[in-house]
Structure 1
Amino acid sequence: MGLVLAAAAAGLVLGDTWLWVAAEWVPPAYAEFSTRDAFDTPATVALLVAALVKAALLWLILRTPAPGPLDHRAKALRRLLYLAVAYALVLWYPIGLLPDAVDAAFQLALWASIDVLYLLVIRWRSRMLRAVAGAVFAVELAGLADGLLDEFDLPELGSIDVLRPVLMLGGVAATIITVVGQRRDGRWSRGTQIAGWSSVGVYVLVIPLNVLLGEISSGSLVMSVVTDAMVLVGTVWIAATARELPTGDHPADPRPVRRVIRVAVAAVAVLPVVALIHPERTPHLTYTGWSPGCYVRPSFGDLKPSERDEAFLCRARSTDGGVPPMFPDDLSDQEILAYGRTLCRTKDREEQEAILARAGSARPGWGADPWDLVYVCPEIVGAVHPELLRSSAETEAANAAYIAEKNAECRDPWPRTKGVVQATARYFLFADGDHGYLVHDPEDESADGAMEQAIDELYDDSSLIGVAGSAVLVGHVEDVIDLCLTVKAFRTAPPQRTAGWDQVTEVPVVSRSGLLTVPEMGEGEVGAGAPMPNLAVTGKGRYRLRVYVRVGDAGEEHLVVVFPGASRKRLKLKR
């Protein structure tokens, strides 16, 4: 213990590398990566405290074995436990120089032998408890065997995402069941049992921090030092288990030993808390625009109350499309949420801009949108925009109801003239205006460049119809966001019936695949509000397309009539 403390003191004089070696018990070559940059004050303090704690734990590990008779099984168990202690302290270095498969095989053989002897040596005083211990040990050994299979590139025991948490918990359960067996046996002192329970506590801290959150492996140097000291508690327990193996009653622990154990346990409990505490102003960045949970953007109604702050933080830090985030990176989660709730209470855009500028936003002039703020103040935003409170299912149902209502407002202008196929629906355009709608062959691969040609022809002709091979672009007369559209297909040309219409134009169109149709509206897109039929009723070939247009009390109405025809003339039947 004195040598460890002296080495730590010497490390302060000789430099960061030797301080790291004294506190972490690694060869100087292992310290090069961690000591490339000078240690800051918290790291230096953590190393000195870790050296003190580890020196105390080392004193507990190196205590002489208790005297007393041992049978051959207990002798074998003691030797194997001390071998495990030696591996944790020293042997890991030379074994680590060998291939990883050697280390994995050594660990499997060592702990398989220890677990078998645990079952034979510990007086469990219950067959059921012994059976449970056997099952738990089997899960622990399965984890070691899975690692060995991985080293040899052999098929593993199962999916890593499913198996890994089970095997980790199996190791924790093995420690718990062994401590329970020690208590029922009666040979092991209270200090040894406390060390066992403390090692369980270390697992409970390390597993979520390192495996689930990645905080230890990718976190600060201080956290790595603290974790290394905490893990040594398990070695203390293994050494104490080996030391107190003799049969018969074990004398009570001397008072100084219990005091040292209490100090060590307190240090293990307090050091992680100290390392995790940050100053009040340190940014706490739980969620960023690149966090896995931010790629999916659920509706407000699909989230639990506890998930809404996360959704707002994702949007506030989002850089989708290359735009700057709403708030700078150096603001903590708590500050961003506070600014968000303040933005909810603003009266106008100028007040929002002032708040964002005060927060250091790179785009204060953009303000904050209600569909972002609804996650932090639904009671305020929802009063003005109740649709933002819906779930995705409710939004889908509301959109379907709106489309059905709009479709019902449209009537067939030729109710007595039935086509081979026909349909009537509302056609939705972009809110800020659109060229019109297509009647086209969606399977025609040669029509990629036809749209530009159709658009040019659309505005060159007063009838607002552009034709380009298998695509016909029909424009609208008024500046509207939707119109009523009826399509009918016939095998022969129907009567013209131009009365009552403002414009009637007939143009040629070709179907190269046997399809002619009008696009149906998808999610968030333009298109017809109901499925449109295939108007190429006779298959591939040339057709005539007649468009009727009028504007009345019902808004703008279009009737599209398609029938076979080889003529390539454009006819203006009514202007």
Structure 2
Amino acid sequence: MLWAAAILTTVAPDIYFRVVTMLSGAEERVFYGWVSWGQCAGYEINSQLRSLLGPVWDFPLLWFGSAPLIALAWGGRLLSERTGHPRLGRILVRSAATVMIVHHLPSPLLFMFDTSNDPRCVQSWGPLEVTGWGIAMNLYYLVPAVLVLLAVRPPGPSRRGRLTRTGAVASLAIMIIVGAVADTAAGRVSDSWALDCAGFGDGTVSGLGEHEKGFLCGIRDESFGRGVSQLADMPDRELLAYGRHLCELAVRNGGDVNAPAVSEAIGEMNSLVGPLTRLCPKVAEVEQERERERQAENDAFIAAAEKSCSVHPRHRPRIKAVRQVRATMWTEFWEINAWDEGSEGGEVGGMVAGLVGSGPGALNIWAADEIGHACVTGEAYRRRPPVETRGWEQVVEVGYETRKGVLTVVDGEGDRLPNLAADGPGSYRVRVHVRGRKAAQEHIDVPDGTVQLLIMVFPGDEKRPVIYRDYPPRKTRK
């Protein structure tokens, strides 16, 4: 009776749906699709198990709720009894029941773990009507496994001991599964989406404050900050413990991350300071004050340079200029640049006399020795101005083509002069004058305002560069 009940239980759902389909005269299929975010340990483990054991579960013996497997185990049991090896038959039956339990038990256990740990994890498993039906059917198909185990229970006084051992083994298996899941949850490595670092993730990580999430985001999300690749794979719990340790160490040193004890603990991970300010208010306070001091020093430095440039006499053109502008321009890589609209980053040929180079819609002008500033005057003309060489170390003229009528000089900080192409689209000549270049190249630290540039732009079809004045290159000592 137990064997018959087990087989009937396994095939009942399939028979029911086939009868319903025949009576309705149509086969209805419903497909579901969903998108889930974040990391839910139970769902991840269940997906890995399905991927790993999928080929096994597709074996024909496990079709129809494992009815063929039960029939095979029943036949093996009868055959073993007829041949005088009943123990072998019981082993075969219990092995079949174990396969059924391993097939259907993990999903309900892992689903219950996820929902008890974080209710939002239900979304990861899919639409509730589908997930609920799947969990219910997995539990349903455990009933035949129980019936099969009852069918082979030994008679007599040994029943209780056997049943106790079977229960102990089942309990141990469940504890192992739950323990593995718990370890995985403890070792969770939350990504930026689950942490909602950018403000539009799913925020499935719970139990953490904003400071803790900010710290994890600063470590893992490069778009949130610079990121710390050396720590990105460390589990959340360990990473937060490490951050709190650094915070306590910094607080003992007045919040100064540059203190020897803190600096030694951070090592070469300088980008860790940013995330640490999100976790440790004292460090944030000290770093903000330090940033204010740096900004004040930088503002004073820029103001001193601009003041030095402003005391230079204004250039007096020999003919009327359409436009004259003055500015202090900064560079990180020796040059300031100009491009036609749409030609940004265009190629420029060799620098003429090391001062100015031009290409289609592009212009480069030497302005400082690697990192520094120049006092720049830009002048736009509608006709060719007279050549001026007196008082200048170099005077060089090149051609420039603009299809959009744009020649806007830009420095390394993004500051720019107004458009100097006064005649609109067409061909221009750019005459560049410089003084103070020799001093800047021969001395590491020169006074502010040493380098002065005068840039004259006027219409002209000539393509050939002209050097009106140059100084001999500095000789290198052997």
Taking structure 1 as the reference length, the TM-score comes to 0.42
